[in-house]
């Protein structure tokens, strides 16, 4: 997202704070940042599953960048901008760009993705009420 | 806790609960969804016997306007004839079988086949055959006219029946006009007209909208604007409905809402209500909105006199047998037409059409242009994306040797009811031929 590209990277935690293959949530500037210690590297997502808007913490990490919600099993590809890979979620998760320096993990707190205010809204259709 | 009140008396659309017929609880066999043999039976015994929505009357407003559309393997041509009436015919030239028109919509003085210019009038009657003297067998203009099909109109829609002996449309519709005439569909503007190619049986899609059991799992957002528990299900002879309270919230949340959810606040603001007034009183909104709309109908440019109070907020959701799904609201209507694929029981066409009732005195724009695309190529909006995401996977499962058929709940009884009608057709209950 271009409007987020100039965001500064803010410190979240030490790499060592997250065991390999696990994830852990840290609160940064009021946002839940879920650091995911994939074998392919440290990745970060907003700690909200877009299905029921609840925590992803503790969700299983699979492959190079997939995280599975621990509640209802929605599966997201962190490497594909958080795309939902299987129902029940259809909306993506928010992915934070990550930088690791000297064992410190920094992220850009990009704007959260969100669903429509009116779930019934249809692209291109203006409804009265 | 949110508690739903319902009207007990209605104006025209009945509000009372219909009796529940005993339909048993047997498994609904999967073969009905996957078998080519069953699909052929559906064609012979049902699709060619019932009345089908083909288009809107206002898609062919002027003499010579036509549209082409498909049902199963058949292409139909719907015209506005020289007599000003709607005519429907098979879109097949009686010379070499070419489709007389290939375009979705157009306008013509006469219908000329693009291959050898056989010319038919707007009612399908053969007028001229180039080099007619060269046909030693002659060209009998009656026998070689386009084959017509029965057409009629209701609700601003053009309906056809491929069965020359079919019952009249009004008989087929049964209780539907009494229920839905107050909404004046014929006055609504069609603002969206899309066809999406889905990889599932047409019934897999119909079923997806015939139950609210899935709302808690697939649409958690909707707990903040609808009540998916206090749903009244009414099963009539062929058609059915459920009534879903809108502008409220689900008892499944298990809490009293303090803040007015955005999905309720938006329509409130659009009509001039202040969501701030309902902090801590969210459960009052639905009935207060009914009163507000009733009181302010003139300034809103509306006439709600034919509606009961619940109709001013709730979703009156109908299945017009077998393939029409209607989300009916006082000011708009969403229609799904679920069409079978010509040959493959694992595919279908999902027509999604949106209609709005514009304020009195506002001219309707022309009906929306038709667009067609494949599932997933674009979003249909959150709720429909959620509804459709499972369907191709259901269809794959229906084809599995490890699955027998639907084992369904009471909340899903509209599905079973649709199957009763389907099997009645298959078994000849409504047969019209001698």
Q: Where are the domains of chain B?
A: 28-45+182-426, 51-162
Average confidence score pLDDT of chain B: 96
Instruction: Confirm if B70 and B88 have CB atoms less than 8 A apart.
Output: no
pLDDT at residue number A117: 86
Residue B18 in contact with partner chain A when CB distance is under 8 A: no
* pLDDT (tens digit per residue) in B111-165: 999 999 999 999 999 999 999 999 999 999 999 999 999 999 999 999 999 999 9
* Distance separating the N- and C-terminal Cα atoms of chain A: 32
Q: Give me the pLDDT at residue A122, please.
A: 87
pLDDT over 80 at A37, yes or no: yes
CA distance B272 to B283: 18
Residue B205, both tokens: 């899609």
Q: Does B371 touch chain A (CB under 8 A)?
A: no
Asked if the Cβ–Cβ distance from A117 to B222 is below 8 Å, we say no
Distance, in Å, from the CA atom of B12 to the CA atom of B307, rounded to the nearest integer, reads: 7
Q: Which of A115, A127, A128 sits opposite B382 (nearest CB)?
A: A115
Question: Which chain B residue has its CA at the smallest distance from A126's CA?
Answer: B191
From the list B220, B221, B356, the residue facing A128 with the nearest CB is B356
CA distance B296 to B303: 10
Kindly determine whether residue B382 and residue A117, on different chains, have CB atoms separated by under 8 Å: no
User: What does CATH list as the number for B51-162?
Assistant: 2.102.10.10
Nearest to A13 by CA among A78, A126, A104: A104
Q: Is the pLDDT of residue B433 over 80?
A: no
What average pLDDT does the segment B388-393 reach?
96
**Which one of A118, A124, A129 has the shortest CB-CB distance to B192?**
A124
Q: Does B271 touch chain A (CB under 8 A)?
A: yes
Of B220, B266, B381, nearest to A123 by CB-CB distance is B381
Residue A1 has pLDDT above 60, yes or no: no
Q: Rounded to a whole number, what is the distance in angstroms from the first to the last CA of chain B?
A: 58
Q: What is the 3-state secondary structure (H, E, C) of chain B?
A: CCCCCCCCCCCCCCCCCCCCCCCCCCCEECHHHHCHHHHHHHHHHHHCCCCEEEEEHHHCCCCCEEEEEEECCEEEEEEECCCCCEEEEECCCCCCCCCCCCCCEEECCCEECCCCCCEECCCCCEEECCCHHHCCCCCCCCCCCCCEEEEEEECCEEEEECCCCCCCHHHHHCCHHHHHHHHCHHHCEEEEEEEEEECCCHHHHHHHCCCCCCHHHHCHHHHHCECCCCCEEEECCCCEEEEECECCCCHHHCCCCCCCCHHHHHHHHHHCCCHHHHCCCHHHHHHHHHHHHHHCCCCCCCCCCCCCHHHHCCEEEEEECCCEEEEECCCEEEEEEEEECCCCCCCEEEEEEEEECCCCCCCCCCCCCCEEEECCCCCCCHHHHHHHHCHHHHHHHHCCCCCCEECCCHHHHHHHHHHHHHHHHHCCCCCCCC
- Burial (CB < 10 A; 0-12, 13-18, 19+), residue B230, is middle
Q: Give the sheet arrangement for strand B371-374, strand by strand.
A: B232-235, B240-244, B315-320, B324-328, B332-340, B348-356, B189-198, B371-374
In this model, does residue B24 exceed pLDDT 70?
yes
Residue B9 pLDDT: 80
The confidence band for B432, taking pLDDT boundaries of 50, 70 and 90, is confident
Å between B263 CA and nearest CA of chain A: 5
Taking 90 as the threshold, does the pLDDT of residue A5 lie above it? Answer: no
Q: Taking phi first (over 0 means left), then psi (-120 to 50 degrees means alpha), and beta for anything else, what does residue B402 get?
A: alpha
Q: Per-residue pLDDT averaged across B209-238, rounded? A: 97
Cβ-defined contacts of B178-181 (< 8 Å, 24+): B178/B12, B178/B13, B178/B14, B179/B12, B179/B13, B179/B14, B179/B241, B179/B316, B179/B318, B180/B13, B180/B155, B180/B316, B180/B318, B180/B326, B180/B328, B181/B12, B181/B155, B181/B306
Cα–Cα distance, B375 to A49 (Å, whole number): 24
Contacts of B389 in chain A (CB under 8 A): 87, 90
Q: Which residue has the higher pLDDT, B229 or B433?
A: B229
Interface contact A53-B385, CB threshold 8 A = no
Mean pLDDT across A23-35? 98
| Burial group, residue A20, by CB count within 10 angstroms (0-12, 13-18, 19+) | exposed
Q: What are phi and psi of B355, to 5 degrees?
A: -130, 140
In chain A, the residue whose alpha carbon lies closest to the alpha carbon of B333 is A127
Per-residue pLDDT tens digits for A100-129: 999 999 999 999 998 888 898 888 888 766
Query: pTM for this one?
Result: 0.93
Tens digit of each residue's pLDDT (9 = 90 or more) over B236-277: 999 999 999 999 999 999 999 999 999 999 999 999 999 999
B46 pLDDT exceeds 50?
Answer: yes
Chain B CB contacts of A129 below 8 Å: 266-268, 270-271, 331
Q: Find all residues with CB under 8 Å of B85, minimum gap 6, and list them.
A: none
- Judging contacts by C-beta atoms under 8 Å, the chain A residues touching residue B396 are none
Give the model's confidence band at B291: pLDDT under 50 very low, under 70 low, under 90 confident, else very high: very high
Residues of B in contact with A87 (CB under 8 A): 218, 386, 389-390, 393
Selected from 3.40.1160.10, 1.20.1740.10, 3.90.380.10, 3.90.226.10, the CATH number assigned to the domain covering B28-45+182-426 reads 3.90.380.10
Is the pLDDT confidence value at B175 over 90?
yes
Q: Are A37 and A19 in contact (CB under 8 A)?
A: yes
Residues 177-236, chain B: which have Cβ within 8 Å of A? 191-192, 217-222, 225
pLDDT 10s digits, B398-417:
999 999 999 999 999 999 99
Give the tens place of pLDDT for each residue, A55-110.
Answer: 999 999 999 999 999 999 999 999 999 999 988 999 999 999 999 999 999 999 99
Q: What CATH homologous superfamily does A2-107 map to?
A: Rieske [2Fe-2S] iron-sulphur domain (2.102.10.10)
With beta carbons under 8 A apart, name residues in chain A contacting B385. Answer: 90
């Amino acid at each position: 997202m271009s409007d987020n590209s100039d965001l500064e990277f803010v410190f979240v935690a030490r790499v060592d704070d997250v065991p390999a293959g696990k994830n852990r949530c840290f609160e940064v500037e009021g946002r839940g940042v879920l650091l995911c210690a994939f074998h392919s590297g440290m990745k970060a997502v907003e700690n909200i599953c877009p299905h029921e808007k609840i925590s992803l913490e503790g969700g299983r990490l699979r492959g190079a960048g997939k995280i599975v919600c621990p509640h209802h099993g929605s599966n997201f590809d962190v490497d594909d901008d958080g795309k939902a890979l299987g129902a029940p979620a259809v909306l993506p998760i928010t992915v934070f760009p990550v930088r690791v320096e000297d064992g410190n993990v920094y992220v850009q707190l990009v704007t959260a993705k969100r669903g429509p205010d009116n779930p019934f809204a249809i692209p291109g259709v203006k409804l009265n009420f | 806790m949110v508690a739903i009140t319902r009207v007990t008396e209605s104006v025209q659309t009945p509000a009372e609960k219909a009796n529940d017929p005993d339909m048993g609880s047997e498994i609904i066999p999967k073969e009905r969804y996957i078998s080519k043999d069953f699909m052929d039976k559906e064609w012979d015994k049902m699709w060619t016997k019932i009345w089908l929505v083909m288009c809107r009357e206002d898609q062919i407003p002027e003499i010579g306007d036509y549209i082409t559309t498909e049902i199963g393997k058949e292409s139909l041509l719907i015209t506005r004839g020289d007599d000003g009436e709607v005519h429907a015919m098979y879109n097949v030239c009686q010379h070499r079988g070419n489709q007389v028109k290939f375009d979705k919509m157009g306008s013509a003085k006469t219908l000329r086949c693009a291959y050898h210019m056989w010319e038919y009038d707007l009612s399908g009657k053969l007028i001229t055959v180039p080099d007619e003297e060269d046909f030693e067998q002659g060209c009998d203009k009656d026998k070689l006219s386009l084959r017509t099909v029965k057409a009629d109109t209701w609700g601003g829609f053009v309906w056809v029946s491929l069965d020359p002996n079919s019952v009249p449309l009004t008989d087929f519709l049964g209780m539907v006009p009494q229920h839905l005439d107050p909404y004046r569909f014929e006055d609504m503007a069609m603002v969206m007209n899309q066809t999406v190619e889905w990889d599932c049986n047409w019934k897999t899609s119909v079923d997806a909208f015939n139950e609210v059991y899935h709302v808690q799992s697939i649409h958690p957002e909707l707990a903040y604007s609808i009540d998916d528990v206090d749903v009244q299900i009414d099963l009539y002879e062929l058609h059915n409905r459920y009534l879903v309270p809108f502008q409220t919230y689900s008892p499944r949340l298990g809490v009293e809402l303090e803040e007015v959810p955005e999905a309720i606040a938006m329509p409130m603001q659009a009509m001039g209500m202040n969501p701030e007034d309902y902090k801590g009183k969210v459960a009052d909104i639905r009935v207060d909105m009914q009163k507000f709309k009733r009181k302010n109908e003139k300034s809103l440019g509306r006439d709600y006199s034919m509606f009961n109070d619940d109709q001013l907020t709730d979703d009156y959701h109908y299945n017009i047998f077998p393939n029409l799904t209607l989300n009916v609201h006082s000011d708009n209507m969403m229609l799904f037409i679920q069409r079978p694929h010509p040959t493959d029981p694992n595919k279908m066409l999902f027509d999604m059409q949106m209609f709005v009732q514009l304020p009195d005195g506002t001219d309707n724009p022309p009906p929306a242009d038709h667009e067609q695309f494949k599932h997933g190529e674009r979003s249909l909006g959150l709720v429909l994306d959620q509804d459709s995401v499972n369907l191709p996977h259901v269809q794959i499962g229906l084809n599995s040797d490890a699955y027998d058929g639907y084992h369904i709940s009471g909340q899903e009884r509209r599905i079973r009811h649709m199957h009763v009608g389907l099997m009645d057709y298959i078994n000849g209950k409504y047969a019209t031929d001698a």
